[in-house]
Structure formats: structure tokens, C-alpha cells
Structure 1
Amino acid sequence: MKLILLDYDGTISPIDVSLEKAYPSAKVLESIDYTRKKGNKVAIVSTKSCDLLINRVKADAYACIAGAEIIYGNRSCIDTDLIKYQDDAISLIDFIKKDKDIKESKAKIDIKKTTTNLIAGITIDWRFSNYPKSLPSIIEQAKKLNLKVIKYENEPFIDILVSKANKADAVLFLKTLFNPKITIYFGDSENDLPAFKVSDISILVLNKYNEHLKNAGINEIVEFDKIWEAIRKYADY
């Protein structure tokens, strides 16, 4: 049995559309179904919340908000740091909401919560707005509160996470859960690099933002439009 792990944004879902339109294509969903019917396991590993992922993709497990919450069947496993740092997360959200530059830029603020309503992350996204000039001060405040900041070299958004877990932790958890013969990871950004390192086969899904990751020690590169073919190929690998 193979374990195929899929990032969401920019990997199986288009990256340059609003969240409301960010769905995997029919071909991608069909390839995931095909993979599971072949007796393999599929898990989604993303910085998105579990509620969103569960509603958009049928999979065997979900590692959400970079591994802060993992769902398998009717069970949820969360990082206990989420409880420890809730007050700090709330404090940062208040700081952001009061920021004049954020309001003027019209950047999208996405507060990510677990299925039990714990705050697990904040995304500041200016893909469809102006760059928020106060972003450096927000990042500084997040670090003062001991929250984790993920910046991307070419992508117009940042993630601020309550949990210190990363996608490698999620992959290792899922490998323990499923005990696969081989683990194959598809991803497209900096936050996928730790997961690449603990997977047997790492596949970079190429888009306009990640040319700089071509030499990141991955095993294979596939164009975003061909991801469905690659998933099917590895289902039969």
C-alpha cells in the first residue's frame, strides 16, 4: 500500500483564484478516487482548515493548518500548543484588526480554526489587493507572541501559525498511522520542503511562483495542469 500525500493550494487547487473558487478539477478528484480504489491511502496536507478540506476533497486523512490538527475517520488529533497559545493568537488578531494599513490595503485576513473552534493560524493575503505596508510590524508582533511566521519568497501572502508543528511532523504522524510501503508527497512551496525530506518520493508541482524551488532536492517536477496524471501514475507505481 502506498501513501500519497497532497498539498492543496497550488498543488491540487489553482493558486491564483479566490478561496471561494479554489477547487480541484474534476480530473484531479477522479485521480484521487482512482488511487484509493487501487487500495492506496490518500491524505491532504495543507495550511487550510480541516472543515474546508473535508468539504472539497474525499481522502483517507487530513493534516490541516500545517499539521496542527489531523483528522482520521471520526477522530481529531490536535497539537496541545493550540490550547497553550490561544490568548496570544487572540491578541494578535486584535492587533491586526486595529491596524489602519491592513484596512486600507483591503488584504484578506483568514483566521483558521480547528474543528473544535481553536484558533490555529492566520493568513494575510494580498493577491487581490494592495500590499499592506504594516506587514513587517505584524510579523514582529507575531514573533514577540512566540507564534510561527511562514514567509514565501514569491507568493503574495504569509501564514502565522499557533502550532510549532510543520508538514514533516504531519507526514511522520500519517506514516505511523498507515504504515505504507512507500510515501509520495506532492507540494509546491517552502512549507512543503520539510515534508519532502521525510517522504520516499518528493514531487514539486510547478507554478509561476516556485521556479526557485526546482533545485530544492526533490525527485520529480510536474506541471500543475498535469498533476492528475502524476497522481494516477503513482497510484500504479
Structure 2
Amino acid sequence: MKRVAAILSDFDGTLCPTSDLRSGYNDSNMMSKPLEDVLVEISLTIPISIVTSKDFDFIYPKTKKFAKILSCILGLETFVMDKNEQISQDKYFLNKDNEVDIDTTAGILKDNYLFFEYEMAEINSAVLTETAAYLEKKYGEVGIEKKFLKGKNNLLGGITVNWRHRADWTGCKRMYEGIVRESLSIALENSKQRNENSISKEKFDYYTSHLFIQEYSTHPFVDIYITKVNKGNAFDIVVSNLSQFSDIKGQVIYLGDSENDNPAFQKSDISIGISSDDRLRPNLDCKYNIKFENLPAVLKRLVDNNYIFSESLLTF
């Protein structure tokens, strides 16, 4: 049997309960210590990478002890950590005019892969900024999470609109999805009028046609991104860079909890869905499912089994 060669994982709802993050709780110790400890232990033998909808500034402090690669905002940006604490930049699908600044975290990155065209990012980021402002002003009861790119202009790469505080998630779902789409349409029209003298209508329409809305079957939130991205593309970029850390000849595990993990589930050798909230019933395209509270034990069993995966590791 092949050994597990690497683990790729979502964060929110997978390594940390979704409710902690969506309620605005932002403590760096949200991940349980038993889980963090076993991830650190594993990272000494095989690489662990994070594939998340979160931005770099959010995810890095929470995973820096064990993650070798961070793919952020559904793959818009992928950061390869540098074991030697030196910076080099490798620009992937990046407009030549974009200069990426690394702020006070300088010294931790080796490579930086960006999955967007810069002028389009500027236009669509402005649309998202206006969408968020409109929602905050008119629908103050919703939560808005803003996800920023690590570029010099602090562009917005995506937003999450959530209504988790509402008791009836299902009853509110269709209403809030409609509100988000309406708010985006209003922001698009306003932005088009403002930009009519600086960019052609054809180019504006082309750029904004790439705005991507991610909806979920039961999760009480909607995401909007500056371009269509998915965790399958992010998975490919991460795996292509894992050879910098080890000889990847075994199986790759992917851990996730929502529909946006499905493209990565489909590419992995071992796909494991994580359930951290009984109120959620996502349509996951994974082979296995486990409870969130059992994840530390499963990973510890994997270590004890010399990284040979078997279904028996998941039995409780």
C-alpha cells in the first residue's frame, strides 16, 4: 500500500469549527491544541498545505506552525513558505504591472503565485468594495467578511456575506441570496457609470463578467470573488509545488467541509469530508466522512500507522 505523501486541507469548518469564525471570533487559538499538535507532528514528516477561502493575513498566523503552502481566496493567491526565510517571487498568471509587496511578514515567503489579471482585479475589486458598502448600509444585520489580496493597492479579492446569526438559516437563505445578487447588480451599474470615460464599455463588461458568486446548499453565507476560481485549480498549483519540500510519490489526502471543496476532493487520492455542525448538510463529493471532533484521533492513527491510510482509521 502507498503511504500518504501530503495532506491538503481547508481551514474554516475543517480544522476549526465554522461557527467560531463566522461569529467574528478571531483568536489565534481557535484550532484545538490536540489538532494543532498532531498537525505539527505530521508536518515534520510530510508536507501539509492549506487551501482556503480566507486571505493570507487571516490564515498565516493560524497555520504557520505546520503549513508549507497557503493557497488563499480559493486559489487567487498561493504562497510557498520558505524554510530558509528568504524571499523570491514567481509570478503566475500575473500582469507585468503588478508589484507584490510583502509587508511585515517579509522573510517567510519563497514563491508567490497569483491567479488573476491585474487590471481586471482593480475593476472587479472596486465593484466588490461598493457591493460590500451597499450591503453594510442597507442590510446592517448581515456580516461582511472582506478578503484582501497581498498587492500594493490592498485590493479586495472576495467578500463573504453571512446570516449565521439568524435562527432559521433555511428560511432566510433564498432571501439573502437574492439580496446579495441585487446589491451586486446595483454596484455594477454604479461602477459602470463612474468608469465610462476611463474604460470602454466592452472591456468593463468583459472584466465584470468574470465576477463569481459561490452559493452553498445549506451553509448560511454567499461568497463573491473578483474572478471565477475553484479549489481544484488551487489544488493543482499546491501539488505542483510540493516537490520543493519532499518527494511526492504517495497518496494525497484532502480534507474539507463544503461544496467549494468538491473540485479538490475530485483531484485527491483520499477525500475526507469533515462535519463540524449538525445543522449543515452540504453536498460533498468525497469518499469518506468523519465528525470534526474525531479528526485529531484520525490523524494520530495515521501517524501511528506509518502514514499508511486505511478505512479502519476512520472507524469509531
Contact 1:42 1:60 in 2 (8 A): yes
Partner of 2:37: 30
Q: Given the alignment of the two structures, is residue 19 of structure 1 paired with residue 56 of structure 2, yes or no?
A: no
Cα-to-partner distance string for 1:138-158 (whole Å, 9 max, x where unaligned): 355689732111001111111
* Residue 107 (structure 1) aligned to one of 132, 138, 142: 142
Partner of 1:135: 180
Cα-to-partner distance string for 1:9-44 (whole Å, 9 max, x where unaligned): 11001111223246211111111101112x100001
Partner of 1:211: 281
CA distance in 1 between counterparts of 2:117 and 2:53 reads 16
Partner of 1:224: 292
Contact 1:89 1:162 in 2 (8 A): yes
Higher mean alpha-carbon deviation, 199-208 vs 108-117, is at 108-117
> Matched residues, percent identical?
25
Query: Structure 1 residues 134 and 29, CA, compared in 2 at 3 Å: closer, same or farther?
Result: same
TM-score (norm 2): 0.67
CA RMSD between the two structures: 2.4
Contact 2:164 2:221 in 1 (8 A): yes
Matches within 5 A, 1:83-102: 83-99=119-135
* Residue 234 (structure 2) aligned to one of 147, 153, 170: 170
Contact 1:10 1:205 in 2 (8 A): yes
Query: Structure 1 residues 142 and 195, CA, compared in 2 at 3 Å: closer, same or farther?
Result: farther
Contact 2:257 2:282 in 1 (8 A): no
SS of residue paired to 1:229:
helix
Contact 2:127 2:187 in 1 (8 A): no
CA distance in 1 between counterparts of 2:72 and 2:129 reads 20
Which runs of 5 or more residues in structure 1 are unaligned?
Answer: none
CA distance in 1 between counterparts of 2:50 and 2:118 reads 20
CA distance in 2 between counterparts of 1:66 and 1:233 reads 29
SS of residue paired to 2:70:
strand
SS of residue paired to 1:170:
helix
CA distance in 2 between counterparts of 1:68 and 1:211 reads 27
Partner of 2:94: none
Partner of 1:41: 47
Alpha-carbon distance, 1:220 to partner: 1.3
Partner of 2:314: none
SS of residue paired to 2:25:
helix
Contact 2:131 2:184 in 1 (8 A): no
Q: Which has the larger radius of gyration?
A: 2
Letter matched to residue 9 of structure 1: D
Q: Given the alignment of the two structures, is residue 151 of structure 1 paired with residue 187 of structure 2, yes or no?
A: no
SS of residue paired to 1:165:
coil
SS of residue paired to 2:146:
strand
Letter matched to residue 36 of structure 1: S
SS of residue paired to 1:92:
helix
Alpha-carbon distance, 1:233 to partner: 3.3
Contact 1:4 1:183 in 2 (8 A): yes
CA distance in 1 between counterparts of 2:33 and 2:141 reads 32
Letter matched to residue 73 of structure 2: I
Higher strand share: 1
CA distance in 1 between counterparts of 2:180 and 2:52 reads 23
CA distance in 2 between counterparts of 1:142 and 1:177 reads 38
CA distance in 1 between counterparts of 2:251 and 2:119 reads 34
Which runs of 5 or more residues in structure 2 are unaligned?
Answer: 82-108, 189-204, 309-316
Alpha-carbon distance, 1:201 to partner: 0.5
TM-score (norm 1): 0.88
Alpha-carbon distance, 1:167 to partner: 0.5
